[in-house]
Each structure stands twice: as structure tokens, then as C-alpha cells.
Amino acid sequence: MADKRRKRVTEFIEPFRVRPGSEVTLGKDFDPAFKAGVKKKQGVALLAEGVRLLSEYQARLAAQDTWGVLVVLQAMDTAGKDGTIRHVMSGVNPQGVAVHSFKVPSAEELDHDFLWRYAQRLPARGQIGIFNRSHYEEVLVVRVHPENLDRQKLPKAARKGDIWRRRYREINNWERYLSDNGIRVVKLFLNVSKEEQRARLLRRIDLPTHNWKFSAADVAERERWDDYQQALSEMLSNTSTEWAPWYVIPADRKWFERIGAGAVLVHALMEINPRYPSVSKQQRETLLEVKQALEAQAPKGAAPDPFEQGQAAGDTGDAKRRDG
Ligand code: AMP
Ligand code: MG
């Protein structure tokens, strides 16, 4: 059952995966409207299954306290990063997740090396961390708008030669270090088309409740669409690695985007396969001694172990027993 499900998820996400070493041309190689033959109606059940699995795996991840998961989300404006986070993580215990949004760097951040601010926000073991924008902005917006690089106060030598190639290498090495040390890196690029972006920008103008989301800066960035597609293609070609591959998620249909993103995250957790820690024989014996002592404290007429009794009757929840 579990094996079958894992196989199904692996096959489902395969078309999104950027094969390490492959040369990507985003506009040609990935269709933003792809939906893997899934109908929107079926999509509801699939997303519900994904949300349930994530909740289950997240509980085990936290209990095991060995692996952390870093989800890197990149996308063009309006592609649906926020909605994807909201829907995919809707079933997960908020204590186990932290979302960090990266904006224009502060003066303090610019006073450090370029990976510093991202390293500050890494998830701990047992935690899922989500980067809403990430260290990849350092080879995207910084590349498309080189004035960002001017603000980074780099020594002359660090700007010589092909700085982007060097950054790809540095990012790959950093992610390798993280995965070697128990922080699994899951990278999602939410791929929206230029035409769908146009429609979504108009929607933000047309719907008064969405006006707040509209930013003139997004329209200015849209003017640079081709430059971003070029920078994105190079990023995907150079930073999809065996230890941290990129997944390009079709984003023109929001319902499919959420299923796709959820499936990649579920798949990563399936590979980690975290387990609840088991106790040693000695710990178990101690537990049984305490159990005996607690049972001896039962007031007159009470079951020595109400939980054990409930379990025999098919009741597993303590809240239910208290209500009944
Ligand atoms: P938003 O995510 O829409 O709130 O916008 C955040 C803005 O911060 C975007 O315009 C990003 O391009 C910008 N941004 C994020 N990271 C960097 C960075 N490292 N350098 C310059 N701008 C950045
Ligand atoms: Mg924005």
C-alpha cells in the first residue's frame, strides 16, 4: 500500500523534475498549463490526500527530530506562492512550520556575505521551513537588475569573471552541505505563463478586495519578462542537482499547482520516511513500573487503566473517552 502510493507520487512528479545536468529553456521545456490528465473535480480529493499525508509525515518528522526540510519557493509575480503555502500547509501543525519571506535586503543584510540572511532562517531538525523567495533571488532579481549587486559591497575580486557561474557553484555547495547534514532541500519553481500573469494582474485591478495585492512594481517587472525567463532557465540548468533537484510546477491552474507542489513535498518526506522513536527494552520496563503505580492509585469503582479498557472497546482517542 505504502509502496504503491510512493510509486504513484514518484511518477506524478517526474514530469516536473529538472534532470541534473540538463539544459533547460523554460518557455520550451515546461508547459504552465499542464495538468497531467487530472480533472479539477478529481483534484479536490488529491489535494485533500496530500494535505492529510503531509500532516502525518510532519508529525513523524518532528517526533524523530533528525531531519529538517527546507522548501524553496520561487516564481514570477502572481504565480501563486502565497496561495500554495496556504493550501498545501493547511493541515500541518503550525508549531512545526516556519515561513520566511525575503524582500529587498536591509542595510544589515547587505553588510554580510550573500547567503548570510538565508542561513539565519534555516529550519531546525524536525521542522519544515518555507522560503517565500530565497537565496535564488541572488541569481535572479540581482542579475536582471545589476544595481542590486552594486549595493552588495563586494570586493573587486568577487565581481571579476563570471559571477553568476560562481554563485551557482556556491549555492550548489551550500545545499550539498545542508543535505549532508540532515537538512533536505526541496526546490519548487511555480511556472506561470505571461498571458496568465496578465489576467491575474487585471483581476487584482478589477476586484476591489484584491486591489491591495496590486503593485505597480509587478507591472514594471513584467516588462523584463524575457530577461527573467533567461535568468530562470540558466538557474534551473545550473542548480538542479542530485541532492537538491528543481521541480517546475505548472501554475496556470491554481488547483493543479497546489497538488503539484504538495506532491513534491510529500515525496521528499516519503524518502526521508521519518519514524516515531521507539523506546529501549529498559525504558519500556520503567514505563510498565510506572503503569503499575498509576493503576494502584485508581479510586474505588474506577477502571485501573481507563485507556486500556477503551482500547479494548475500539476507542483510541482520550478526548472521546472524556466526553463519553
Ligand atoms: P514581494 O515578494 O512581492 O513582497 O516582493 C519582494 C521584493 O523583494 C521583490 O520585488 C523581490 O524581487 C525583492 N527581493 C527579494 N530578494 C531580493 C534580493 N536578494 N535583492 C534584491 N531584491 C530582492
Ligand atoms: Mg510582489
In DSSP terms, 68 is beta-bridged to 183
Please tell me the number of Cα atoms within 13 Å of 123 on its side-chain side.
29
DSSP 169-200: HHHHHHHHHHHHTTEEEEEEEEE--HHHHHHH
For residue 216, report the distance from its CA to the centre of ligand 2, in Å. Answer: 9
The pLDDT, as a whole number, for residue 229 is 98
> In angstroms, how far is the first alpha carbon of the chain from the final one?
34
The pLDDT, as a whole number, for residue 320 is 45
Instruction: In whole angstroms, give the CA distance from residue 19 to residue 229.
Output: 18
Residue with CA at minimum distance from ligand 1 atom 1: 103
Helix 254-272 × helix 2-13 angle, to 10°: 130
Cell 536591509, residue located: 106
Residue with CA at minimum distance from ligand 1 atom 5: 103
Residue with CA at minimum distance from ligand 1 atom 21: 104
Judge if the beta carbon of residue 129 lies within 6 A of ligand 1: no
CA-based radius of gyration for the chain? 24
- Under 8 Å between Cβ of 274 and 208: no
The pLDDT, as a whole number, for residue 293 is 98
For residue 221, report the distance from its CA to the centre of ligand 2, in Å. Answer: 10
Grid cell of 30 as nine digits? 515546461
In DSSP terms, 75 is beta-bridged to 190
Closest-lying ligand 1 atom to the alpha carbon of residue 221: 10
- Under 8 Å between Cβ of 61 and 269: yes
Instruction: In whole angstroms, give the CA distance from residue 137 to residue 64.
Output: 32
Judge if the beta carbon of residue 75 lies within 6 A of ligand 1: no
The pLDDT, as a whole number, for residue 312 is 82
To test ligand 1's pocket by mutation, which of 72, 81, 103 has the most ligand atoms within 8 angstroms of CB?
103
The pLDDT, as a whole number, for residue 324 is 37
Grid cell of 29 as nine digits? 521545456
Judge if the beta carbon of residue 103 lies within 6 A of ligand 1: yes
DSSP 31-42: -TT--TT--HHH
DSSP 299: P
Judge if the beta carbon of residue 105 lies within 6 A of ligand 1: yes
Polymer length in residues for the chain: 324
Outline where DSSP puts E strands in the chain: 68-75, 97-101, 128-132, 183-191, 246-250
- Under 8 Å between Cβ of 189 and 139: no
- Under 8 Å between Cβ of 149 and 34: no
Instruction: In whole angstroms, give the CA distance from residue 126 to residue 58.
Output: 8
Judge if the beta carbon of residue 152 lies within 6 A of ligand 1: no
| Pairing of β 128-132 and β 68-75 | parallel
Residue with CA at minimum distance from ligand 1 atom 6: 103
Instruction: In whole angstroms, give the CA distance from residue 169 to residue 227.
Output: 21
Residue with CA at minimum distance from ligand 1 atom 3: 77
Grid cell of 44 as nine digits? 479536490
In DSSP terms, 101 is beta-bridged to 132
Q: What is each CA distance from 196 to 82, 245, 270, in whole angstroms?
A: 17, 26, 33
The pLDDT, as a whole number, for residue 154 is 96
**Tens-digit pLDDT string for the chain (324 aa):** 789 999 999 999 999 999 999 999 999 999 999 999 999 999 999 999 999 999 999 999 999 999 999 999 999 999 999 999 999 999 999 999 999 999 999 999 999 999 999 999 999 999 999 999 999 999 999 999 999 999 999 999 999 889 999 999 999 999 999 999 999 999 999 999 999 999 999 999 999 999 999 999 999 999 999 999 999 999 999 999 999 999 999 999 999 999 999 999 999 999 999 999 999 999 999 999 999 999 999 999 999 999 988 888 776 554 444 443
Judge if the beta carbon of residue 148 lies within 6 A of ligand 1: yes
